[in-house]
Structure 1
Amino acid sequence: MGGIWGFGVTALIQQGTWRPGPPFDDACGRRGGNRVFAQISRLAAEVPPTADFAGVDRLYAQTGELARAHPGTAVVRRIGTSRLGEPLWCLTVQGGPEQVVVVAAVHPNEPVGGLSSVRLARVLLADAGLREELGCTWHIVPCIDPDGTRLNEPWFTGPMTLESYGRSFYRPAPDEQVEWSFPLSYQGIFFDRVLPETVALMRLIDETKPMLLCSLHNGEYGGVFYYLSRTTRALDAQLAALPVGLGLPLHTGEAEAPFIEQIAPAVFRNFTAEQELDFMLELGLDPARRTAGASSGAYAARYGTAYLATEVPYWADARADDHAPIEMSYATVLAKRGECAHGTVDRLSGILGSVRAELTVRTPFLRATEAFLPYLADAAEADLARAERPGTERPAVVAERFHSISGVQSARIRLGGMLLRALAAEIAVGHGTPAVRAGHGRLTETYAGWLAEAEMPQPIPLAKLAGVQLGAILSTAVAIRYAAR
């Protein structure tokens, strides 16, 4: 998801201030925007089936093949180097004076964007008329974090279950994430530990000064939703229609954080790091515990760049869009979520504490677990504090309860899986001390229990997820282009 940890805190992206009203929508319709929207919806529905996610090598091979097949229109160039020394590649598709940057794998546990970015390139290269209509040159980065993506590749193939996903899951610690290691300075909170991958993306943004930056994300359960810095009623309607047309639910329940503005069903306003820090202060939480920087959207805003983040789930659930009241107050929903999250933190922290003195390998899995446990503890405290606020005694709705249950389930599957990988790494390198083996055994038992309790809905066909992201990128580009004409 878009947030630092993906368990309830969203991306720290620059809030936009421009939202045209009816005159823009009328102009969009008169100038052909509705016709292009219809064409985009068709393209979204025509993404061919795919059985699995593409790993780093396949993504780079596919973009290289496209560039070689279209030498006059497309070129692949190196834009940087990963922390482990892997080249970072960008496919540029020529098409007009305006610039668009599309970035996938901003979180390496979110591989839908890799499929979507390659499909976008294929669509653009196959249709010169569409390129001319859009009037944009496209800079497509199919994988900005190859190091982290490779650590998730074991679950990219084969039937996708919660167990296969969780046991091979990796999400970097907040200060090791490309999306959230852009510079930040606010009320004594300072971040400048910019990653090499982030530097590469900064250079690309500085060079292109894009009209639009698209960051491709995906979540786990529920429905589709979006973050936008600029939008219109016509674009809101199109973005909602894309998943509905593909038979997918919208996420119309809670935002990932309570201070986020909902613009339209499943469409949320981007927000700043400063807003999140202010919210933490309001709840009495220490903002210094937030260890990340700002985001790509915040950095690109200096050029007047519009921002789109698409959030698509692996598993659909109609409850994400169900607003029927339930026989439980919203305060109770919040309190239960806070209590369950606290229980998860206590269990994982207890196991980690029992082996910490024995650990010798500072794996990415260990660093991430250590970093995310305080975030989950703060989220639990925030929920408990909000449960005491006036107005929360109202009846909750199905979507709110679903968001609560799925959030705790996600935290357990993700964090428990990464700690299991950290302890297994100690054993694999020959350091399976009695304490490490005992901790691994306790966590294995706990994790099996969490998996048994978890709900396992049917996975969504990957082509539909890529179709939503493809349609959202093109639709947003159309909306911005028509606004400028």
Structure 2
Amino acid sequence: MWRCALPPLLRYPTVDELGARAAALVARRPRDTRLRRVGTSRAGTPLWLLSIGHGSRQALIVAGPHANEPVGGGTVLRLAERVLADPRLHEGADATWNLLLCLDPDGLRRNEGWLRGPYALGGYFRHFFRPGFLEQPEWLPDGAAAVTLPETRALLDLQDELRPFLQCSLHGVDVGGGFVELTHDLPGLAQRVAHSAARLGIPRELGPYDTLYWPELGPAVYRIPRPRRGDLAAAITEAAVESTWFHPHRHGTVTAVVEAPMWGVAAVEDGARPIDEETVLRMVSHTLRHDTGVLQRLLERIRPHLPAGPETARLLAPVDDYLLVCPGLADTWDPDLEDPVGAHALPPLSTAHLAALRIAGRRLALRTAGLLHQLVTVAGRDPAGALPELDRLIDEWCDDYRDGCGARWIPVARQVEYQARVVLAAFELAGRHAPACSRSGEAGWNAGAAVPIHRE
């Protein structure tokens, strides 16, 4: 049996390393693998698709949809290794694996300040980047017909070409636990997730902030509701928007959003009924409201001194998004406020939910502080004297993650292995009733010619 010669992943791969490793696989196994360019990013970076096998049933695995979640790049390399080593996963399953190496390579490049390690919360948040909501390529706020981002258009075209029976979108959780979001139920997946998580020491998130109002299909597995219209705040906090997750629904595609944590927190797996729910909610909401005020005042001091230009705009967009949603979330979580304007009543909460809300509030503040830190650093001067205060806040809030929440780093290899195992489980379960579809990258099947990577 062929064994892959890829070196072990001790850290996250960069954009360039992803392309180079995929090209090395194709050079070793040209009959079974194909590498083609399926689009180009806004900055001109190729979007590479690595296809393995020649089966009629298509699986599409999308890495790097969020710029600050690099685990998916490692996972697609791990999956390529596993699939090539086991013919049952392609020949035996009549399947072709289509691995999109990175959907947002421009954003991933902007995270390279922390990507290579050493992995510490302070370093991560000081170098964190994720574009504003409207520039994230999985979202379709105005519908598929109005898409302007080339990365989004490339993914939509690929979905319509392949008509996959399964799409997996590979996401990461900076602090928390692992969970899965599905557009259709896959009975048995929750048990597979539990087994893989236990074997690898990955906490399962039993009450994620992302899925607070979504139906639970099993422990740490949730059903994504059909998209609906909402304002920008609802779109950001509730995914109340069309997305590339649902776009291939008409082809019978099951989409699985697979979340793997970077820093794990044991409390997110505690499904017990809390004994002090109101006290915790009051603390979380008041803390978020206070931190938001501090950050808004810092932004008011910083903004007049920022240079005009695309770099400033790129960093300000997510800052404005976070500061837009924080007050409403604080009001929604506050037990002392009756029927906050535009808020949903909270569902019954477990200890895991409360831990997730605490983590989410702290995450929003830390991301905002990190982006403000970059705005001042990139400007090259600090006339407002904001950097010392931002450094103090980032250090203090990271300490709270470590000491208050018990956040502990999970080695990259374990993050990747966990996510790969969940994808393989979803592949098996979704494939039991999958129809035959198009063949990726083969003549006569609406696929463009492969572009040698060295020409890009």
Range class of TM-score, shorter chain: 0.7 to 0.9
> 1:320 maps to which residue?
268
Q: Secondary structure at the match of 2:92?
A: helix
Quote the offset at 1:172 in angstroms: 1.0
* 2:431 match: 481
Report the secondary structure of 1:220's partner residue. strand
Query: Is the CA contact 2:133–2:236 (under 8 Å) kept in the aligned structure 1?
Result: no
Aligned amino acid, residue 351 of structure 1: L
2:359 is matched with which residue?
406
2:332 is equivalent to residue 379 of structure 1: no
1:126-205 correspondence runs (5 A) = 126-181=85-140, 183-184=142-143, 192-205=146-159
Consecutive unaligned residues of structure 2, counting only runs of 5 or more, are 436-456
Q: Read off the aligned partner of 1:416 and give its amino acid letter.
A: A
Instruction: Give the aligned residue type for 1:274.
Output: R
Residues 128 and 300 (structure 1), Cα distance of their counterparts in 2 relative to 1, 3 Å cut: same
Matched, 1:346 2:293: yes
2:192 to 238, 259, 264: 238
Q: Are the structure 2 counterparts of residues 201 and 65 from structure 1 closer, same or farther at C-alpha, using a change threshold of 3 Å?
A: same
Aligned-residue CA RMSD (Å): 2.9
* Counterpart amino acid of residue 227 in structure 1: E
Preserved CA contact (<8 Å) 1:214 1:309? yes
- Residues 208-357 of structure 1 correspond to what in structure 2 (within 5 A)? 208-274=162-228, 277=230, 294-329=242-277, 331-357=278-304
Change (3 A) 1:356 1:464: same
TM-score by length of 2: 0.84
Distance 1:385 1:339 in 2: 10
User: 1:458 — aligned with what?
Assistant: 408
For 1:162 and 1:398, the matched residues in 2 are separated by: 24
Task: For structure 1, list consecutive stretches of 5 or more residues without a partner in the other structure.
Answer: 1-42, 186-190
Q: Is the 8 A contact 1:108 1:149 kept in 2?
A: yes
Contact 1:332/1:387 (<8 A) preserved:
no
Moved more, 258-267 or 355-364: 355-364
Distance 1:239 1:95, change over 3 A: farther
**Aligned residue in 2 for 1:418:** 371
Q: Are the structure 2 counterparts of residues 386 and 123 from structure 1 closer, same or farther at C-alpha, using a change threshold of 3 Å?
A: farther
Q: Give % identity.
A: 30
Shift of 1:398: 3.0
The answer to whether the Cα contact below 8 Å between 1:181 and 1:292 also exists between their aligned partners in 2 is no
- Structure with higher helix content: 1
- How many angstroms apart in 2 are the aligned matches of 1:208 and 1:289? 30
Contact 1:212 1:305 in 2 (8 A): yes
Q: CA deviation at 1:200?
A: 0.8
Q: 1:434 maps to which residue? A: 383
| Letter matched to residue 319 of structure 2 | T
Question: CA distance change for structure 1 residues 353 and 216 in 2, over 3 Å: closer, same or farther?
Answer: same
1:221-253 CA-to-partner distances (Å, cap 9, x unmatched) read 232110112224323322222212222221113
Farther-moved stretch of structure 1 (449-458 vs 74-83): 449-458
Summarize deviations over 1:329-352 as a string: whole Å, max 9, x none. Answer: 2x3333332222111221111111
More divergent stretch after superposition (106-115 vs 320-329): 320-329
Contact persistence 1:48–1:463 (CA under 8 A): no
- Partners of 1:257 and 1:128 lie apart in 2 by 36
**Cα deviation code 1:18-73 (max 9, x no counterpart):** xxxxxxxxxxxxxxxxxxxxxxxxx9xxx985321101010010011111211111
The superposition leaves residues 310-359 of structure 1 with CA deviations (integer Å, 9 ceiling, x where unpaired) of 11111222211113444412x33333322221112211111111232222
Distance 1:433-1:237 versus aligned 2 partners, 3 A rule: closer
Relative distance call for 1:166 and 1:250 in structure 2 (3 A) is same
- Assess if the C-alpha contact under 8 Å between 2:246 and 2:255 holds in 1: no
| Counterpart for residue 81 of structure 1 | 40
Q: What SS does the corresponding residue of 2:47 show, helix, strand or coil?
A: strand
Do the aligned partners of 2:18 and 2:73 also contact (CA within 8 Å) in 1?
yes
Q: 1:231 to 1:346 in 2, by over 3 A?
A: same
Taking the aligned partners of 1:218 and 1:393, their CA distance within structure 2 comes to: 25
Alignment of 1:354-369 (within 5 A): 354-361=301-308, 362-363=310-311, 364-369=314-319
